[in-house]
Chains A and B, each alone.
Chain A
Amino acid sequence: MVLDTKKNDNLNDVEELARNNILVTTFEKLWNWGRSWSFWPLNYGCNCCPIEVMAAGAGRFDQARFGYEVVRAVPRQADLLTVAGPITLKMKPAIERVWAQMPEPKWVIAMGNCAISGGPFKDGYSVLPGVDSIIPVDVYIPGCPVRPEALFHGMLELKKKVQQGEYRRS
Chain B
Amino acid sequence: MEALFVNLAAVLSGWLTSLGLSPIWADTVLLFVKWIIVITIITLNIIILIWLERKVSAFFQERLGPNRLGPFGIFQTIADAIKLLTKEDIVPSAADKLIFKTAPMFFIVVAVMLYTVIPMGQGMEVINLNIGLLFFISIGSLSTIALLMAGWGSNNKWSLMGAVRSVAQMVSYEIPLAFSLLGVVMISGSLNLQDIVAAQGKLWFIILQPIAFITYFIAATAELNRGPFDMPEAEQELTGGAYTEYTGMRWALFFLAEYTNLVAVSALMATVFLGGWQGPWLPSWLWIIIKTYGVILVFFWVKWTFPRIRMDHLMSFSWKVLVPVSLGNILLTGAGIYFCRWMGWC
Chain A residues at the B interface, C-beta cutoff of 8 Å: 6, 30-31, 33-35, 37-38, 58-59, 62, 64-67, 69-70, 72-74, 76-77, 79, 103-105
At the interface, yes or no: B64 with Cβ under 8 Å from chain A? yes
The 8 A-B residue pairs with the shortest CB-CB distance in the complex, in nearest-first order: A34-B82, A103-B88, A37-B79, A104-B88, A74-B240, A73-B235, A62-B63, A103-B247
Query: CB within 8 Å of A: which of B80-120?
Result: 80-83, 85-90
The total of chain B residues at the interface (CB under 8 A) is 36
Cβ-defined contact, B61 with A58, below 8 A:
yes
CA A30 – CA B88 in complex, angstroms?
A: 16
Contacts of B67 in A (CB 8 A): 65
Cβ-defined contact, A76 with B246, below 8 A:
yes
CB distance from B46 to the nearest CB of A (A): 15
CB distance from A128 to the nearest CB of B (A): 25
14 residue pairs of the A-B complex, CB under 8 angstroms, read A31-B82, A31-B86, A34-B80, A34-B83, A37-B80, A37-B83, A64-B66, A65-B68, A67-B66, A67-B69, A67-B80, A76-B240, A77-B240, A77-B247
Cβ-defined contact, B65 with A73, below 8 A:
no
Chain B interface SS verdict (over half): loop
CA A55 – CA B80 in complex, angstroms?
A: 23
CB distance from B169 to the nearest CB of A (A): 20
Cβ-defined contact, B90 with A103, below 8 A:
yes
Contacts of B251 in A (CB 8 A): 76-77
Which of B63, B79, B85, B244 contacts A64, CB < 8 Å? B63
CB distance from A108 to the nearest CB of B (A): 16
Contacts of A35 in B (CB 8 A): 82-83, 86
Which of A59, A64, A66, A103 gathers the greatest number of chain B CB atoms within 10 Å? Answer: A64
Contacts of A77 in B (CB 8 A): 240, 243, 246-247, 251
CB distance from A143 to the nearest CB of B (A): 23
Cβ-defined contact, B63 with A59, below 8 A:
yes
Query: CB within 8 Å of A: which of B254-301?
Result: none
Cβ-defined contact, B246 with A67, below 8 A:
no
At the interface, yes or no: B188 with Cβ under 8 Å from chain A? no
Cβ-defined contact, A73 with B236, below 8 A:
yes
Cβ-defined contact, A103 with B87, below 8 A:
yes
Cβ-defined contact, B88 with A73, below 8 A:
no
At the interface, yes or no: B239 with Cβ under 8 Å from chain A? yes
Contacts of B89 in A (CB 8 A): 103
CA A35 – CA B73 in complex, angstroms?
A: 16
Contacts of A65 in B (CB 8 A): 64-68, 73
Which of B64, B76, B243 contacts A62, CB < 8 Å? B64
CA A6 – CA B87 in complex, angstroms?
A: 14
CA A67 – CA B75 in complex, angstroms?
A: 10
> Given A62-B63, A65-B64, 10 other A-B contacts at CB below 8 A?
A31-B86, A35-B82, A38-B80, A67-B73, A72-B235, A76-B90, A77-B240, A103-B90, A104-B88, A105-B86
